[in-house]
Each structure stands twice: as C-alpha cells, then as structure tokens.
Amino acid sequence: MNLRGMWAIYTFEMSRTKRTITQSIVSPVLSTVLYFVVFGGAIGSRIESVDGISYGAFIVPGLIMLSVMTQSLSNASFGIYFPRFSGTIYEVLSSPMSFWEATAGYVGAAATKSLLIGLITLATAGFFVPIEIAHPFWMLGFLVLTTITFSLFGFLIGIWADGFEKLQLIPLLVITPMVFLGGAFYSIDMLPSAWQKVTMFNPVVYLISGFRWSFYEISDVRVGVSLAMIMLFMGICLALIAWIFKTGYRLKQ
C-alpha cells in the first residue's frame, strides 16, 4: 500500500482548509447557528416538545446531519474537480498509486474536515440547548460513516461535473431538500399516514433517524435499518468509483 502517496494527497487537501478556514469552517458553523436561532428560538417557543424532547434539542441531530452532508459533498467534489480542471489529475493517474489509494486520500481529507465541522456544530449546540448523548459510540460511528459516505458521493459529483456551477447543483437542489423533508426538523409520526409512506423513500430519513437515536433513543425507523442503508449507499458509491477509474470516465478525456 502506497501510504506515502495517500498521505501526500491527504495533507495537501487539509492544508487548503487552513488557507480558507473562514469558508471551510467558520461559514458552515455560523449558518448552523442561524438555524438554531430561527428554528430553535422562534419555532421552538411554539412547540414545547417532540417525543418528550424539547424542540430545540430535538433538531440538533438533524442540523448536524444537514451540515455534515452538505460539507462532505462540497469538500470532496471540489477536491477532485480542481485537479481535473488544472490538469494535475494526470500526475495522480500516472503515479504508482491504485485508484483506491488516491480515493482514500481525497475522501479521507474531505471526511476529516466534515467530521470536524460536525463536532464543532455539536459543541456549539450545547450553548443553545441542553444535549444528552445516550450512546456516544454510536453517535460517533454514525457521524463517521455519514461523512465518509457523502464524501464518496461528493467525489463522484466532482468527477461528473464539467463546470464549477454543477458542483453545487446536487447539494443545493437535491441533498438540502431531502434533509429538510427527511425529518431533520420534525418527527415522521407528525405527518399524515400517506406522507409517512412517501417519506420512507427518502434515504436521508434513515440517516437522521439512526443519528437521533444515538442521542435520545428515539427513532422513526429501526437502528439496524438505518445502519444498513448507510452501508448500502457507501457500497454503491464505491462500486461507481471503481467503474470510473476502470473506464477512465471524465478522467482521461
């Protein structure tokens, strides 16, 4: 295994975070704080509790997932798109590294940055609402799996995109609406029965549900199902990445 090559890609991507710390770290955390103020303050004052949990505390897992998913996509997609745009991707392709090692370097850096944002968001939430984490190990596990999975998805977007505007197309038009409609700010049980069935087709529901269970031991779906959905999504992303490197799709053109 070419650990030196993986480490070189990883450190290069992480060093970019230091140069753009306002955009990479401060901006998403401030955006999440605004969500706490609007939803936790304005709406939370009118909704006493959801499933026995104060509304402000109830939305914390959903807000963390919203931040982690969008940042994972953005970090990973830009991380691989810029080498394609500048032409330096050919140096990676001609190096003695397998595609798994190159992917691990890019995805590992994106996942690390997103995980850091998620943990900072969690710490920031403690200043607004009291937070209880019933299962810290499972909470961290769901967070790590989500960052890796959506970083892989972002890696795919970065390869697929042929312009900077497309890098934000899926995060803004697909992922963000799916998070809002996936139970981030409400319980699925609050919806009419017909809409509950429709919502179950939203994969984000399973991610948020499992993550919220690690906090308060309440969930809209079984924890095992949530974990299985994450692993399934990760497997699909890995299979697509393997196909891309095998065929050279948008990498050798």
Span 16-70, pLDDT tens digits: 777 666 666 777 777 777 777 777 666 666 676 777 788 888 888 888 998 899 8
Overall domain count for the chain: 1
| Closest among 237, 2, 13 to 114, alpha carbons compared | 13
**Residue 105: pLDDT above 80?**
yes
Region 60-81 average pLDDT: 88
Tell me how long the chain is: 253
Q: Is residue 131, in this structure, part of any structural domain at all?
A: yes
Q: Is residue 252, in this structure, part of any structural domain at all?
A: no
Structure confidence at residue 155 as a pLDDT band (50, 70, 90): very high
Region 134-157 average pLDDT: 93
pTM: 0.89
**Residue 142: pLDDT above 80?**
yes
Taking the chain, what is the end-to-end CA distance rounded to the nearest angstrom? 27
Q: Is residue 51, in this structure, part of any structural domain at all?
A: no
Q: Is residue 43, in this structure, part of any structural domain at all?
A: no
Q: Is residue 127, in this structure, part of any structural domain at all?
A: yes
pLDDT digits (tens, 9 = 90+) for 167-201: 877 777 888 788 878 888 888 888 888 888 888 88
| Closest among 219, 38, 22 to 128, alpha carbons compared | 38
Q: Is residue 54, in this structure, part of any structural domain at all?
A: no
**Among 68-82, 131-145, 174-188, which stretch is predicted with the lowest mean pLDDT?**
174-188
Three-point CA angle 124, 130, 133, nearest 5°: 90
**Residue 84: pLDDT above 70?**
yes
CA 183 to chain centre: 16
Range of the domain at 174: 3-35+60-183+192-247
For 121, other C-beta atoms within 10 Å of its C-beta total: 24
Q: How far apart are CA 181 and CA 191, in angstroms?
A: 11
Q: Which residues are bridge partners to 54 per DSSP?
A: 49
Q: Is residue 129, in this structure, part of any structural domain at all?
A: yes
Q: Is residue 101, in this structure, part of any structural domain at all?
A: yes
HSE, CB side, 13 Å, CA atoms: give it for residue 51: 19
Structure confidence at residue 102 as a pLDDT band (50, 70, 90): confident
